[in-house]
Amino acid sequence: LPWQAALGCRAAQVLMQYCILANHYWFLVEAVYLYKLLIGAVFSEKNYYRLYLYLGWGTPVVFVVPWMAAKYLKENAEGEGAGLCVPHSVSLQINLLIFMRILKVILAKLRANQKGYADYKLRLAKATLTLIPLFGIHEVVFIFATDEQTTGILRYVKVFFTLFLNSFQGFLVAVLYCFANKEVKSEMKKKWQLWKLDH
Full DSSP string of the chain: -HHHHHHHHHHHHHHHHHHHHHHHHHHHHHHHHHHHHHH--SS-HHHHHHHHHIIIIIHHHHHHHHHHHHHHHHTS-S-SSTTSHHHHHHHHHHHHHHHHHHHHHHHHHHHHTTTT-TTHHHHHHHHHHHHHHHHTGGGGGGSS--TTT--HHHHHHHHHHHHHHHHHHHHHHHIIIIIT-HHHHHHHHHHHHHHHHH-
Domain match, 107 and 26 both: yes
More confident residue, 47 or 41: 47
pLDDT of residue 40: 66
* Overall pTM > 0.85: no
CA distance 163 to 44: 36
> How many folded domains does the chain comprise?
2
Q: Same domain for 115 and 17?
A: yes
Residue 166, domain extent: 136-198
Asked whether residue 48 falls in the same domain as residue 94, the answer is yes
Instruction: Please report whether residue 128 resides in a domain.
Output: no
Specify whether 51 is located in the same domain as 14: yes
Segment among 15-24, 28-37, 79-88, 127-136 with least mean pLDDT: 79-88
Q: Is 124 part of a structural domain of the chain? A: no
* Mean pLDDT, rounded, for 160-172: 74
Quote the percentage of the chain above a pLDDT of 70: 75
- Residues 3-17 have a mean pLDDT of 80
Per residue in 66-80, pLDDT (tens digit) is 888 887 787 655 555
Residue 102 scores a pLDDT above 50: yes
Predicted confidence at residue 61, as pLDDT, reads 92
Same domain, 42 and 109: yes
> Residue 138: is its pLDDT beyond 60?
yes
- Higher per-residue confidence, 133 vs 183: 183
84 touches 63 (CB < 8 A): yes
User: pLDDT band for position 143 (50/70/90)?
Assistant: low
pLDDT band for position 58 (50/70/90)?
very high
User: What pLDDT band is residue 24 in, cutting at 50, 70 and 90?
Assistant: confident
Instruction: Look up residue 70 and give its amino acid.
Output: A
Residues 6+ apart with CB under 8 A from 90: none
Q: Is the pLDDT of residue 83 over 70?
A: no
Are 71 and 145 contained in the same domain? no
pLDDT, residue 42, reads 47
